[in-house]
Chains A and B, each alone.
Chain A
Amino acid sequence: EAEVAQSPRYKITEKSQAVAFWCDPISGHATLYWYRQILGQGPELLVQFQDESVVDDSQLPKDRFSAERLKGVDSTLKIQPAELGDSAMYLCASSRLAGVSHEQFFGPGTRLTVL
């Protein structure tokens, strides 16, 4: 069964350092999402891609976060510099189409700890 792949699974870094997370969606899924989930809360959308274009990045802290999906397939989310408050689970998800209601398929997540 096809799955969304994410790496690394765990990342520990010191504040002010740069970190990057990678996501490979299910083959053929045009829409890719990055979520941040703080412990004890539901996921919050950071950025949504349709193919290589950003559809929604209204909740992405653009002074320190960036995301790209250059060829419309895999994607990278970067934080520079990391802050203590960035400690969270970062989840990637994909779905077949935007504009049509579809379930989203989630990867296992990257747990980030900022010291």
Chain B
Amino acid sequence: SQQGEEDPQALSIQEGENATMNCSYKTSINNLQWYRQNSGRGLVHLILIRSNEREKHSGRLRVTLDTSKKSSSLLITASRAADTASYFCATDEGATNKLIFGTGTLLAVQP
């Protein structure tokens, strides 16, 4: 079962522009993580934000978390063609730290 839904399902932008993806989830969480998946490959961890944090930065990535709205956003600034991939949010809940992934946003960055 999928916990979250991501919006938009697909996004196409030009190199240099910013890309924003949103994630909504349903239940209380320990933390929320974002992963990137290049076509046909495994997932790569991007960033983890804990439930008591509101914003986190890592390089060109900025993640926000609003637990009252059960939502998160991922901002990629100054996008590059190499950022073309699917991006998934995943919520970590319960004692076993089981990750439940969203449906993903397919980002295409045009050179």
A100 touches B97 (CB 8 A): yes
**Contacts A43-B101, A98-B97 given: A109-B42 contact, CB under 8 Å?**
yes
Question: Are B96's CB and A91's CB within 8 A?
Answer: no
Q: Tell me if B101 and A44 are in contact (CB < 8 A).
A: yes
Residue from the list B41, B96, B103 in contact with A98, Cβ < 8 A: B96
Across-interface contacts of B103 in A (CB, < 8 A): 41-42
User: When each residue 20-47 of chain B gets 1 if its CB lies under 8 Å from chain A and 0 otherwise, what string results?
Assistant: 0000000000110101000011111100
By a CB distance below 8 angstroms, the chain B residues around A91 are 42-43
Taking CB atoms and an 8 Å cut-off, the chain B residues in 51-107 that contact chain A are: 88, 90, 92, 95-104
Write out, one digit per residue, whether chain A residues 90-106 have a CB within 8 A of any chain B CB (1) or not (0): 01010100111111111
Cross-chain contact of A105 among B45, B95, B100, B104 (Cβ < 8 A):
B45
How far apart are the CA atoms of A48 and B41 in the complex, in Å?
21
Q: Counting CB contacts under 8 A, is A108 at the interface?
A: yes
What is the distance, in angstroms, from A85's C-beta to the closest C-beta of chain B? Answer: 16
Instruction: Decide if B30 touches A101 in the complex (CB within 8 Å).
Output: yes
Q: Is A29 an interface residue (CB 8 A)?
A: no
Residue on B with the closest CB to A43? Answer: B101
Contact: A99 with B96, CB < 8 Å?
Answer: yes
Task: Report the separation of the CA atoms of residues A59 and B99 in the bound assembly, to the nearest whole angstrom.
Answer: 13
Shortest Cβ distance from residue B97 to the other chain A in the assembled complex, whole angstroms: 6
Contact between B99 and A104 (Cβ–Cβ < 8 Å)? yes
> What residues on B are CB-neighbors of A18 within 8 Å?
none
- With a cutoff of 8 Å between Cβ atoms, the chain B residues found around residue A104 in the complex are 43, 45, 99
Cβ contact of B45, chosen from A33, A44, A103, cutoff 8 A: A103
